[in-house]
Structure 1
């Protein structure tokens, strides 16, 4: 019987690359036939298809089911409810004593406990794969490596099972992986098409790199904005692995990268030199040996960043282990042409398998050394912290209880010790109140993470950054903080207590809600959805409430009882329910006559328009920024936002909405007809909230007329070596740094802020002059704005002349131009309210 033509073609393709576990990935190896290989289980050879995440989970479940060498644990779930799993493999005797092994590892990482005998302790190895969904080879390598470790009869595999505990996380980003796998499999040809222009190699927007909300999870180990990272970090602190891997892919024309990264320029300042100068060098010899054996090309000591603490390959370095990043040239599909010929999916998988095996062998050979280093790391952290002149970091915002709790939780999630502040103290420009502020001592095992949270770094060994050049988390939360070596901490905080306030009793003339709390916008959104009429008080005032005399800031919400459609009993029940849900303090007043400031019936008080928001997404739009906005409104406000592809905007009637959000991007694809419609909608009162390059597009389109800051005449050298071009030109970029901005506290964009200075995040070189209208630049930079990160001297001077935010009037409407990043990576809680104010109060901003 003749085989069908498609099977013959497929057979030719498979034989060309010698597929099969024994023949291609593990030549010469013998395996236990009782352990099914991935291809046996899946019904196809690894590399033939992109394996769906549910099948990866099923394969690991099978290994757990059939062998006492494996144990599968679900540590959490993604946004799309895919399970986050860890498969642990070791010898049966080790698996029986797994909890004892884990506790000894934790004992080793705790300088307050006696040091266990390390020679009898197994190496703890964490193999992490696939944080970027469209870098798929590593998850396939995870299955093959787990199979090899369980089934191989080699001496190395036997020694590893006896003397190590290996944890496999096959896919850090399951949602993104499945998005990409579906694309690659759906567009696969028979035979595969290697042309880079083929549809298979070019995903549609936003691609599979990111998670459900279009976030790069390889930046989230520090902010912990998403459940994938939250689960991973919680698990990490139950083990403190000696070695953690982080497998990636890069451009098709590249080869293979392993550490060490670029010396000094790409290294984290809190990590001991021993990590870079000794441990990385030890392990690199194993990677080169394993890749030399199969003739793969590779490179080291260039480009890739180890400075930002939120990478999967950097976070372990700040916790006494070794984090390792690997980068493989990508086939971005099943087969693709490169400068060295065709690269197959199987080839990319094989290189990651080789590095996985090399990592385990290196960790095993250096087992005692790495255990000693883990102990040494935390011991030196305590001693260095004891000598640190800061002594303690004191932080807290007396006006925003929710943001305080969010920051305390972040510190606790990273196992940083936090204590109550038992006294009112003034430090620097801040007053810290008892019960509303906390103390973080530098003398603690997590001293290096404390530095990552609070230190402001402005001097660097390099001026070109792969990613952000600063990450002071206290600034991202807009958190006032100061140092004090003399303060005595109070009781240790072990968990974040839920905020609750008593609801005022008795009949009220009106109810008041302070806009300063982080979750006040969520409360307002819920009130509006419930049909409760809400007004905003546009000036500060002092009121005699039923509980006390209270000073309220501009932006305070008022619920006037005389102007409600709901029955009073129903309204009060709903108000109590929403106040409890959103942890908001509601004040009652029996009169509209205030003690100071405007009264509650002033003409400076008016109804809050319910936002009806549409956002442009799709080709040409930054998926990162769009995802940040989508996630903010979903997770922190509970507000639905209509997301429309850029090429569908011609079908939109903007008069069904009152607010249009334009993330950074190129909007030249908008038709002339839609532009006319957009201008008409603005003239009649619409609000555009635009970010960075979107604001530049609005200027070019003639919708706004803001002026750029003029750059000085070119002072570059006439000639430079060609090899210096990337470093010289890269140093001109503003790659991500923190600045102090000055707020006009009377403007609606700043409602809820009580201090006139606020840290902001900038990652663009867009410098725009303040508005010609002296009232419409409510956020500017201070005279000496740099708080942390790199910026060239020339750019810093340009920044001092530029605006952080401008309101551009257009007829009865307006454009609110953000030139910074108020929602960066889902963790800028300090500036989120600026963006939310633009949505809720945009119609009163000009």
Structure 2
């Protein structure tokens, strides 16, 4: 009782401004004096400042330097070239045998190999911190936890060093952390200001939550769009940890959350019940005990989602481990007032420190049990996969080799077994050609990830979602696929295919490039950057090429060898080099007269305008969507994009640009003079790409004249007149469209659909804006099919409105146009299947109305 009272007293003291000392974190403990504490190394008590990432790295480097029980490894780099590191701590005996321990753990996860003896196998524990840069307490706890594990003389620390291998990832998102740390430190008061209105607690847009491209990395464990996640997943599959932590912060008025999460409603459908009903319960007892000891308030079994596979706390659950999410009430700075009094940065750090130690103790106590579970998980995966009626999934797009290669690599990165397809197959309306398609068997250790990639889910235990409710990755890649129980596979792939084409020999009248390939837009921009004149052929045709009679769709690029500023040999050299860089097949023809369709000099062939693009960002704009667009332009197109803040739009001369992008957001801060300039620019030929709520704003301003579907009166009439107050969140939340997948129908003759060969295309929607198709019968090029719902949750009322609405509308404005997107074509950097719709709006906007 005395110990508990002392802890409560210390908790009270630490909430006072200016109070911070290392003894607060480890009262009564003794440490190896040869190991410097974070406070000794940094020169200030932990909690007094937000520690820069480079100093966290340097502290870990110091531990590596002075102790044989610690080793630091750089596994990669962020976009801003900060190192991604893993610090491993274990006994000297384990350190000398670390590679054999790793191989044994990987063998445990492979049911095709004999099960190793785990009697003396150390627990493999992975402590991950700071995926959201402005949730900073956990990275500070990462330093303290490493120090405690390495230097503490307690019996628990000694047992952990002897019987476990602990891996520390101190900051999953270094770029975001440093953005936030600079803000918090730059705005710190002396004494600290606890008023939530203070500038310190209110970051400027876009804040430090996200990475360099404004992506939420806690959603990227599945898509693997960014280097931080790519290297982390590669490392993860080298170790298959028994337990992985994912530390977060929440609103300042909260307390502390640890798993279990909300039963069923927040759980992933492919994860075995044993994970939720047994493992979570075992570990939760430890967290409660540690927080009870210091009197910290906490809660479980509510709100936080564990269903989306891309979370750092969910992905391990689908890999035979236990993923654990923790949420701490945030000080969002150094000191902030709450309903329970002031919350200090040091206090938030201590709670995460205690949960870190509790996780290690629970992992140690359940060491053999967790190893057995890892083996059991993958054995049952193979057994369940063998019973799946599908037996195999066959996939492949005969028209887009680059997208095929990207999807194959994606599957292999998640350690899914992929095999060559050695026969022509027709299944569920798709044709899969030998050599251009692949097979994924269900009877494999990663069967549960196979389900994640190919399975559409429409039924749920809950109708309110914290995040996305659909994540079928084959749909995201726009990949034709079908289950097939009768096919036989060829050789297993060890690495993803790489496209390679021979450049046509001899003299050419013109070079032709099929727009169907994913990287054709990048090829076009690179050609334009190199000074090559390129034209667009706006109707299908058949030409005689080096491959014989070759059919081409509308949108094909033509490089006439005449009308070029470059000399003939230089032109050939440039085209050949860029084709190699972009994995593009180049066709050559020796005549402008085609075998079928229009000729190469037709009036339906015209010069491709080189785009110059500007995008509005800043306060009121969705940083997620703006980041998705920025990332697409940089990573997949290599095209510079001007990003301008809303408050600076008055300085912009839109006539310097061909295209303006308006991400989802609130544009009411734009002045009337800016709106007038915008209207004038569009009417004189400009192209606006408008996303979701931006189109509502343009409608309100009279720039476009489209019609919103509004069934509000009918919906109100159908609603119950009285409901219990406690149901308010669930009932109202069920009206949202929380991220789901639908089948759309393309007008393949419209420029927005150039490069697509099939009328039907899966699209992703995460908003409740429903716009009627255009009154102009030619300008709704993308609509939903009669029964569009493919996966994820949507209410019956919203599904009815969706069926009446448009996915994309082109709104003519004088000589210009607005391309309105109501879905998310670039969602999380993963929707490769719909990226081209967006890129077509950039390259072919002036052809769309």
Query: Given the two structures, how large is their TM-score scaled by the length of structure 1?
Result: 0.98
Q: Which residue of 1 aligns with 2:547?
A: 547
Q: Does 1:652 align with 2:655?
A: no
Q: Does 1:822 align with 2:825?
A: yes
Residues 30-69 of structure 1 aligned to structure 2 (within 5 Å): 30-69=30-69
Structure 1, residues 247-291: CA drift from partner, whole Å, max 9, x if none?
000000000000000000000000000000011001000000000
Structure 1, residues 276-308: CA drift from partner, whole Å, max 9, x if none?
001100100000000000000000000000000
CA distance in 2, matches of 1:679, 1:831: 28
Residues 406-805 of structure 1 aligned to structure 2 (within 5 Å): 406-711=406-711, 712-714=714-716, 715-805=718-808
CA distance in 2, matches of 1:363, 1:115: 20
CA distance in 2, matches of 1:59, 1:48: 17
Residue 746 (structure 1) shift: 0.1
Give the ranges of 4+ consecutive aligned residues of structure 1 lying more than 3 Å apart after TM superposition: 12-18
CA distance in 2, matches of 1:501, 1:606: 27
Q: Which residue of 2 aligns with 1:304?
A: 304
Residue 709 (structure 1) shift: 1.3
Q: 2:814 aligns with which of 805, 811, 818?
A: 811
The 3-state SS of whatever aligns with 1:830 is helix
Q: Could you say what the CA RMSD is over the residues aligned between the two structures, in angstroms?
A: 0.9
CA distance in 2, matches of 1:465, 1:818: 23
Q: Does 1:366 align with 2:360?
A: no
Q: Which residue of 2 aligns with 1:7?
A: none
CA distance in 2, matches of 1:15, 1:507: 80
Q: Does 1:148 align with 2:137?
A: no
The 3-state SS of whatever aligns with 1:237 is helix
CA distance in 2, matches of 1:277, 1:285: 13
CA distance in 2, matches of 1:412, 1:303: 33
CA distance in 2, matches of 1:530, 1:116: 58
Gaps of 5+ in 1: 1-11
Larger displacement relative to structure 2 (542-551 or 444-453): 542-551
Q: Which residue of 2 aligns with 1:4?
A: none
The 3-state SS of whatever aligns with 1:490 is strand
CA distance in 1, matches of 2:16, 2:332: 21
CA distance in 1, matches of 2:821, 2:567: 41
CA distance in 1, matches of 2:703, 2:255: 47
Q: 1:841 aligns with which of 834, 841, 844?
A: 844
CA distance in 1, matches of 2:208, 2:487: 49
Residue 506 (structure 1) shift: 0.5
CA distance in 1, matches of 2:110, 2:150: 31
Residues 289-438 of structure 1 aligned to structure 2 (within 5 Å): 289-438=289-438
Structure 1, residues 89-135: CA drift from partner, whole Å, max 9, x if none?
01111111101111111111110111111111000000000000000
Residues 252-271 of structure 1 aligned to structure 2 (within 5 Å): 252-271=252-271
Q: Does 1:96 align with 2:96?
A: yes
CA distance in 2, matches of 1:405, 1:562: 34
Residue 28 (structure 1) shift: 1.1
Residue 20 (structure 1) shift: 2.4
Q: Which residue of 2 aligns with 1:251?
A: 251
Residue 18 (structure 1) shift: 5.1
CA distance in 2, matches of 1:233, 1:423: 33
| 8 Å Cα contact 2:15-2:343 kept in structure 1 | no
Structure 1, residues 782-801: CA drift from partner, whole Å, max 9, x if none?
00000110000110010000
CA distance in 1, matches of 2:824, 2:16: 51
Residue 597 (structure 1) shift: 1.1
Residue 347 (structure 1) shift: 0.3
Q: Does 1:203 align with 2:206?
A: no
The 3-state SS of whatever aligns with 1:238 is helix
CA distance in 1, matches of 2:177, 2:822: 33
Q: Which residue of 2 aligns with 1:215?
A: 215
Larger displacement relative to structure 2 (459-468 or 489-498): 489-498
CA distance in 1, matches of 2:567, 2:19: 75
CA distance in 2, matches of 1:17, 1:567: 72
The 3-state SS of whatever aligns with 1:346 is helix
CA distance in 2, matches of 1:556, 1:632: 22
Query: Given the two structures, how large is their TM-score scaled by the length of structure 2?
Result: 0.98
The 3-state SS of whatever aligns with 2:294 is coil
Residue 14 (structure 1) shift: 9.0
Residue 496 (structure 1) shift: 1.4
Structure 1, residues 464-510: CA drift from partner, whole Å, max 9, x if none?
00000010000000000001111000000110132110000011111
CA distance in 1, matches of 2:512, 2:235: 42
CA distance in 1, matches of 2:597, 2:465: 49
Structure 1, residues 648-690: CA drift from partner, whole Å, max 9, x if none?
0000000001100000001111111111111110110100000
The 3-state SS of whatever aligns with 1:245 is strand
CA distance in 1, matches of 2:238, 2:673: 58
Residue 593 (structure 1) shift: 1.1
| 8 Å Cα contact 1:769-1:801 kept in structure 2 | yes
| 8 Å Cα contact 2:244-2:322 kept in structure 1 | yes
Q: Which residue of 1 aligns with 2:5?
A: none
Residue 713 (structure 1) shift: 4.0
CA distance in 2, matches of 1:382, 1:20: 52
The 3-state SS of whatever aligns with 1:72 is strand
Residue 422 (structure 1) shift: 0.3
| 8 Å Cα contact 1:686-1:813 kept in structure 2 | yes
Larger displacement relative to structure 2 (165-174 or 561-570): 561-570
CA distance in 1, matches of 2:275, 2:434: 41
| 8 Å Cα contact 1:526-1:578 kept in structure 2 | yes
CA distance in 1, matches of 2:554, 2:392: 34
Q: Which residue of 1 aligns with 2:4?
A: none
Structure 1, residues 413-455: CA drift from partner, whole Å, max 9, x if none?
0000000000111001100011110000000000000000000
| 8 Å Cα contact 1:18-1:24 kept in structure 2 | no
CA distance in 2, matches of 1:32, 1:131: 31
Residue 596 (structure 1) shift: 1.2
| 8 Å Cα contact 1:13-1:191 kept in structure 2 | no
Gaps of 5+ in 2: 1-12
| 8 Å Cα contact 2:684-2:815 kept in structure 1 | yes
Larger displacement relative to structure 2 (55-64 or 598-607): 598-607
CA distance in 2, matches of 1:94, 1:322: 23
| 8 Å Cα contact 2:707-2:772 kept in structure 1 | yes
Residue 584 (structure 1) shift: 0.2
The 3-state SS of whatever aligns with 1:504 is coil
Q: Which residue of 2 aligns with 1:9?
A: none
CA distance in 1, matches of 2:107, 2:823: 44
Residue 15 (structure 1) shift: 7.5
Q: Which residue of 1 aligns with 2:129?
A: 129
CA distance in 2, matches of 1:120, 1:832: 50
The 3-state SS of whatever aligns with 2:244 is strand
| 8 Å Cα contact 1:532-1:566 kept in structure 2 | yes
